[in-house]
Amino acid sequence: FLNPTIYRVAASVVLLMVAGGIGFWYVDRQAKEAELLALRQEMEATRKMVFALLDNNESASQRLMGVKAAYETPKHDDAIVQALVREMNEDDNANVRLSAIEALGRFSNESLVRKALVESLSNQTDPVVQLALIQVLVQIKEKDALKSLQKMSEDDAVLPSVRDEAHAGIIKINV
Among 27-41, 51-65, 85-99, 136-150, the least confident range = 51-65
pLDDT at 166: 93
**Which position has the higher pLDDT, 168 or 75?**
168
Distance, in Å, from the CA atom of 43 to the CA atom of 49, rounded to the nearest integer, reads 10
Exposed e or buried b for every residue in 107-121, given b needs 16+ CB within 10 A?
bbeeeebbebbbebb
Distance, in Å, from the CA atom of 165 to the CA atom of 169, rounded to the nearest integer, reads 6
**Tens of pLDDT along 56-96?**
777 888 888 888 888 877 676 788 888 889 889 988 889 99
Distance, in Å, from the CA atom of 1 to the CA atom of 74, rounded to the nearest integer, reads 61
- Please determine, for residue 114, whether its predicted confidence score (pLDDT) is greater than 60: yes
